Structure 1
């Protein structure tokens, strides 16, 4: 593929980024995606600082290509996490769930490229003003924690593109080459893909969860818990318990009590498909096979090129 703003910014072959998902994105997945020509990301959101340090070191051993670390800025050990990232000389950091002004200047002073994840035009512009190198605009279709605006990806991308000067990465509901091409036609310089890589051999998520993603059909996910932090989940017993509680007009405290602690770990990492929180995107209905990450990258890029060549010319 020809170079563009994203491949040039990250020094990668394809403008394809694997999302830094909790309980799924360890060094094995990140290095595999990077070695295949994309940008792999280690998801720090489910790692203690020392665990993250180990994953960074192992990723460096497994690839000589660029990789990144994703850091949710609500993380309780954020300062320790950022210190490790700077000590280990990680070259690219994706931040989310917080104010990009807090860490962007500090990271950039160390020569680190910074990308911030947003769900609206307003926060894309705030990120640009904070000095980030690129923005991930993530639509309502995405798995995990979502924006409150419920703007879909293919509505959000052209609106952000209209206002933004820096490179734009599309995320949410993209798992195929055709989806990648569509996002880029709408103005994205590249795409970030999460759910498709959860169903990969190298993802650290539990096999039970991977299989449930493969078995999922249209309509099997839904956004919920908006009073806490909107999250898209596969429907299971826990999801049904949440739905049942909503019929009683619960307080925020009651929702927090039901959610409890480590619910996502229980589902996605330990494989409890009944009581676990199973975060995945709407695109899971289009994911039909667990396969190596490198094959997923190759499949997406091949389909992208085929779709590009097959575009009808009127």
Structure 2
């Protein structure tokens, strides 16, 4: 695969970013992804500051390749998390769920490459204006917390590409080489993949959750809780409880009370498939096995090259 703007920006072999997902993206997954030629990301959203420091240090020992940290800015302890990232000399930070102006300048002053995750053209332009080095445009298909615009990846990528000049990474509904090629034909310079890496051997998510992802079929996920923060999850008992509450016309406080605390940890990390919040993307219906991260990346790239040659013969 030829070098492009994303591989050059991160000094990686393939324009693939392993998403920094809560409860899945620890040092084992991030280092495995980086060692396989992608960019591995640690998911800081589910880590206390000192736990993040430990994962950064272990990741450094496990790989000599570039890796980064994904930081959802809506979480507490953001100041401590950013200080630890700087102290540990992490060179790449992906920010999400917040205003990119808040931390971009601070990070770049410390020599850190900054990427911001967006769900619309409007926010992509704001991120570019804030000085980020690249944006991840994430479509409505994606798992976990999602944009309110409900714009799908297929339409979002070319619309963002039309308006920005900085490198563009596509996310949402991508798990294969075909998906990667499609995203790049639409204008992306690279792809960020989450759900496929949940079903990897190195992901820190619970085996029971991984197995449920593998068993999922088309239509197994749905976006809900838009009044709090839109989130796509597998349909289970907790999801059904939410839908039952919606039939009564709940207040925001009633929704918060049902959600409670640590719902995602309970499901994705502890393996409670009934009461947990099981965040995953629509592409789960195309994920059929749990494999080593290296093998996943190898298969994505092999399919990408194969389909690219196939298309070029048209």
Q: So what's the TM-score if we normalise by structure 2?
A: 0.99
Q: How does 1:1-314 map to 2 (within 5 A)?
A: 1-314=1-314
TM-superposed deviation, 1:142: 0.1
Aligned equivalents of 2:213, 2:114: Cα separation in 1: 31
Q: Secondary structure at the match of 2:100?
A: coil
Q: Secondary structure at the match of 1:311?
A: helix
Aligned equivalents of 1:245, 1:143: Cα separation in 2: 22
Aligned equivalents of 2:72, 2:308: Cα separation in 1: 34
Aligned equivalents of 2:16, 2:312: Cα separation in 1: 24
Q: So what's the TM-score if we normalise by structure 1?
A: 0.99
Cα RMSD after superposing both structures? 0.5
Report the number of matched residues.
Answer: 314
Aligned equivalents of 2:66, 2:105: Cα separation in 1: 21
Moved over 4 A (4+): none
TM-superposed deviation, 1:312: 5.0
Q: Secondary structure at the match of 1:170?
A: strand
For structure 2, which runs of at least 5 residues remain unmatched after alignment? none
Q: Secondary structure at the match of 1:68?
A: strand
TM-superposed deviation, 1:75: 1.4
Q: Secondary structure at the match of 1:81?
A: helix
Residues 12-47 of structure 1, C-alpha deviations (whole Å, 9 max, x = no match): 000000000000000000000000000000000000
Aligned equivalents of 1:228, 1:107: Cα separation in 2: 29
Q: Secondary structure at the match of 1:257?
A: helix
TM-superposed deviation, 1:313: 4.4
For structure 1, which runs of at least 5 residues remain unmatched after alignment? none
Aligned equivalents of 2:289, 2:280: Cα separation in 1: 15
TM-superposed deviation, 1:81: 0.2
